[in-house]
């Protein structure tokens, strides 16, 4: 058995979760925050048999999108002390996926 840990963007999470549950996968949705953008995202935990890892990754690939985000970056200050910002473009994935071996699984 494997545990798929997938971080997706908040905008995609409902759609991804509905696609997973439609196909009969069990999923836990955890609210998370990316360390770089400090914006909310969603981390999904999906426990599956080894043979189902690829189909789940295909589903995640098909149902989550890459998007551009804009991150404020301080570039200096005006003579009267106001901070000046520029926005840098950051491309945020689709999904960031880890696949872990499950040593033990039980439901009580
Ligand atoms: P964040 O950490 O908020 O990162 C958002 C996006 O910012 C990243 O998109 C990437 O394009 C960029 N980014 C992150 N760190 C960077 C850096 N040090 N320098 C330049 N650009 C940087 P993604 O790579 O698609 O990641 C989306 C979210 O997935 C991340 O949000 C984080 O929550 C999670 N994630 C990505 N890689 C991870 C990893 N190795 N371990 C744990 N979580 C990860």
Mind listing the pLDDT tens digit of every residue in the chain (108 residues)?
999 999 999 999 999 999 999 999 999 999 999 999 999 999 999 999 999 999 999 999 999 999 999 988 888 899 998 999 899 999 998 999 999 999 999 999
The structural domains of the chain, ordered by start, are 2-66+93-101 (3.30.70.120)
Q: Which helix (H) or strand (E) holds 82?
A: none
From the CA of 92, how far away is ligand 1's center (Å)? 7
Within 8 A by CB and 6+ apart from 63, the residues are 12, 15, 16, 19
Does ligand 1 have an atom closer than 6 angstroms to the CB of 90? yes
DSSP code for 79:
T
> Distance (Å, rounded) from C-alpha 35 to C-alpha 46?
22
Closest residue to atom 16 of ligand 1, CA basis: 36
């Amino acid at each position: 058995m494997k545990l798929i840990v997938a971080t997706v963007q908040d905008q995609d999470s409902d759609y991804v979760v509905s696609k997973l549950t439609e196909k009969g996968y069990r999923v836990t949705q955890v609210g998370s925050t990316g360390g770089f953008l400090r914006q909310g995202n969603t981390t999904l935990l999906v426990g599956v048999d080894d043979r189902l890892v690829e189909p789940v990754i295909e589903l995640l690939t098909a149902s989550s999108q890459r998007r551009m985000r804009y991150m404020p970056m301080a570039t200096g200050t005006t003579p009267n002390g106001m901070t000046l910002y520029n926005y840098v473009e950051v491309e945020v994935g689709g999904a960031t996926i880890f696949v872990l071996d499950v040593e033990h699984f039980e439901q009580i």
